[in-house]
Structure 1
Amino acid sequence: MACCTGRCALIFICCLQMVAVLERQVFDFLGYQWAPILVNFLHVLLLILGLFGTVQCRPRYIVLYAAWSVLWVAWNVFIICLYLEVGGLTKSGDYLTFTASRHRSWFLEHGPGCTAEAVDSGPALAGGAPDGGAPDGHVLLRVSGCLLEYPHLEVLHSGVHILLALFGFVYSCYVVSVITEEEDSFDFIGGFHSYTAYHSPQKVSHLQLKPVYV
């Protein structure tokens, strides 16, 4: 009963994580953030393995999911530090796009209440482009009126993923421990300790063979 309850809870958490990461993947695709796209895809694969291991009672797959949960938490902590510009990180860098594009978070232009205005970057703007801007001679955006700035939205996203991953890690460890205990205490029929219980002792015949005379 305890194993069934823990497995059901872990399956529910994995399903929530799957919905959350697919939602995040959509916005990362819209923002052309290639590093998060790759990590999200890897997260989906490990979630599938975790679900399979939970349904089929395969501890190895659950342990693999638990180990990935630790790495997933570390990745989201990095994302939080990046958008909050902690430890010398800057959100205007190309850490998440592999320098393949100038795109930033999708919420930069489409956050709640945000209005984006195209601005031609001339010599006067050469000293610095606004957040999410482009180099000199290109069109950049000036965003204003946001009810919630895009770094805080990204931090909230990562916070939700960290919370779900922590719950998944705790329940995965619990399910693995329960499955292992049940396998160790299982009494296999025909085992060494139960051999005499399921096999009647062989009868010793006291009859002696005598020749039959016709």
Structure 2
Amino acid sequence: MGVCSGRCTLLGICGIQLACILERQIFDFLGYQWAPILVNFIHIIVVIFGIFGTIQCRTRYITAYAVWLVLWVSWNVFIICFYLEAGYLSKERDLIMTFNISMHRSWWMENGPGCMVTAVTPAPDWAPEDHRYISISDCFLEYQYIEVAHSSLQIFFALAGFIYACYILKCISEEEDSFDFIGGFDSYGYQGPQKTSHLQLQPMYMSK
């Protein structure tokens, strides 16, 4: 019973994780943030494996899902520190999020709630010709806090998924141990009828 309820809960968590990461992946694509796009894609694959492992009670898949969640939490903590510019991190570095391929950053920078985007003309001399120079003002919520909220939500569901994954692995292990105790996997617990070989006695004759 514990495994069934735990599996249903974990499936619900995985479903929410999948919906949230797909939403996040869309906005990362719009912002050309290639590093998060790559990590998000790996997360989507692992969550799908986690769903399959939960349905089929495959301990290897559930274990891999739980291990990945530890790395996923670490990545999201890094994202939070990046946007809050903790330590030596700076959200102005293109190399970290876009592999220095483009100057695009978070999609929410220009499209946040209430943001007013104004084109600055003439553009400064240092601005690339194929990019426009803009001024952003009157945002109700700055883009970095929206990104932090996204990462915080991912951490919350990752911790919940890790706890339930460990719970399911524990329940499965206990059920296998109890089944083995009553002889379920014991090769000596049951022996089928054995075929007995019949030796036919033949008379022996002694010649003189």
Q: TM-score range by the shorter chain?
A: 0.7 to 0.9
Quote the Cα distance in structure 2 between the aligned partners of 1:37 and 1:156. Answer: 17
Contact preservation (8 Å) 1:28, 1:106 = yes
Gaps of 5+ in 1: 127-133, 203-208, 210-214
The equivalences for 1:86-101 within 5 A come to 86-94=86-94, 95-101=96-102
Quote the Cα distance in structure 2 between the aligned partners of 1:200 and 1:74. Answer: 58
Show CA shifts across 1:5-53 (max 9, x none): 1111111000000000000000000000000000000000000111111
Deviation at 1:201, TM superposition (A): 10
Gaps of 5+ in 2: 196-200, 202-208
Q: Specify the alignment match of 1:73 in structure 2.
A: 73
Give the TM-score taking structure 1 as reference length.
0.83
Give the TM-score taking structure 2 as reference length.
0.86
Q: Specify the alignment match of 1:48 in structure 2.
A: 48
Deviation at 1:190, TM superposition (A): 8.2
Show CA shifts across 1:130-172 (max 9, x none): xxxx458952111001000000000000000000000000000
Show CA shifts across 1:50-97 (max 9, x none): 111100000110000000000000000010001000011111111100
Q: Does 1:152 align with 2:153?
A: no
Deviation at 1:118, TM superposition (A): 1.1
Deviation at 1:180, TM superposition (A): 1.1
Quote the Cα distance in structure 2 between the aligned partners of 1:40 and 1:28. Answer: 9
Q: Specify the alignment match of 1:205 in structure 2.
A: none
Aligned-pair Cα RMSD in Å: 2.4
Quote the Cα distance in structure 2 between the aligned partners of 1:51 and 1:137. Answer: 44
Contact preservation (8 Å) 1:122, 1:137 = no
Residues 103, 48 of structure 1: alpha-carbon distance in 2 compared, 3 angstrom cutoff: same
Quote the Cα distance in structure 2 between the aligned partners of 1:190 and 1:76. Answer: 43
Q: Specify the alignment match of 1:121 in structure 2.
A: 123
Q: Specify the alignment match of 2:162 in structure 1.
A: 169
Q: Which amino acid aligns with 2:78?
A: F
Q: Which amino acid aligns with 2:48?
A: I
Q: Which amino acid aligns with 1:104?
A: R
In percent, how many aligned pairs have the same letter?
A: 54
Deviation at 1:183, TM superposition (A): 1.2
